[in-house]
Amino acid sequence: MSMSRARVARRIAAAAAYGGSGIGLLGGVAVGLVLTELSLAKRVVGGSESSPPRADGRYGFAFARRTGQPPLRLAFLGDSTAAGQGVHRPSQTPGALLASGLAAVAERPVDLRNVALTGAQSTDLERQVTLALDDPEQPPDVCVIMIGANDVTGRMPPAQSVRLLSEAVRRLRESGCEVVVGTCPDLGTIEPVYQPLRWIARRLSRQLAAAQTIGVVEQGGRTVSLGDLLGPEFAANPRELFGPDNYHPSAEGYATAAMAVLPTLCASLGLWPEEAPETRDEGILPVAKAAAEAAAEGGTEVTAARGPWARLLRRHRPSEAGAEPPAPAPSPPPLTH
């Protein structure tokens, strides 16, 4: 199964590189049915009309007095998940959770800027990257991107989705910024989507997630798979991990995702021990195989090795390690920009 996913992911990534439309796992009729049902699901659950809370500002400001080090700059890009749609307090958004966690690990303040847009597809990444890089004298130290779900529901060809994401990662890396991408989540967990279309939605999501990984790693970024991490846990605890609209994560759901991304975020800046006891290093694999395996297990990191090879790191989920969400570093209320 993973080899089949690896082949499809590689074909999509190749089509992205050479301008093709890519290849799908499923026939057009089946894809049309599942995307129609996903669109209906959005209307059934209603979504959230309110804007996500703004969490931009400085976190861990006390570390500046203690260590005298300048703040790290963290940018957040992507769709409603990156923006924190579905929660009400800035501290509950993934950006705030990761800024607080990064500040605590680095023992430095962290300046967060979130340019994510609710409803965004990968077509919006060019605009978001331009915003994130608007100060050439102070580019972000690291960017987190969460994108893909709206590409699937919006029927964007997967090769186009991967090509746009790869271009965004390339621009960020050329500016000297580290990049961590949370790949496409598992759309098979949306409650109003029923079998067998739920299974098809899951396959479409994993197909895109694997292809995203190939594109990102080839541009020097790192990925963390969110689909399977959020999938079974959301399915088992929908009332806890989904928000009131049953479509976006709740505060607990965002904390689960943030705990999966935090080790990779810190490792990209050299702040996380690569031999941490909770990490299983699966070694060096062909990038397509690593991408396919990562898409099937949440919290899995893929980073570039040499040439067409990548390193696969499986990190324990918070529930397995008994971990709590990162406690916010001492900070005043976030300053809005």
Residues carrying an active site annotation: 80, 245, 248
Helix, strand, coil: what percent of the chain each, to 5? 50, 15, 35
Q: What is the DSSP letter of 93?
A: S
Report CA 165 to chain centroid distance, whole Å: 12
Q: How far is CA 263 from CA 259, 269, 283, in A?
A: 8, 10, 17
Stretch (H or E) spanning 114: strand 110-114
Read off the tokens for 17: 């590189």
Rounded to an integer, what distance in angstroms lies between the CA atom of residue 118 and that of residue 82? 8
Tokens 């040439």 belong to which residue?
A: 307
Read off the tokens for 246: 């049953």
Rounded to an integer, what distance in angstroms lies between the CA atom of residue 234 and that of residue 67? 40
Read off the tokens for 299: 């919290």
Q: What is the CA radius of gyration of the chain?
A: 18
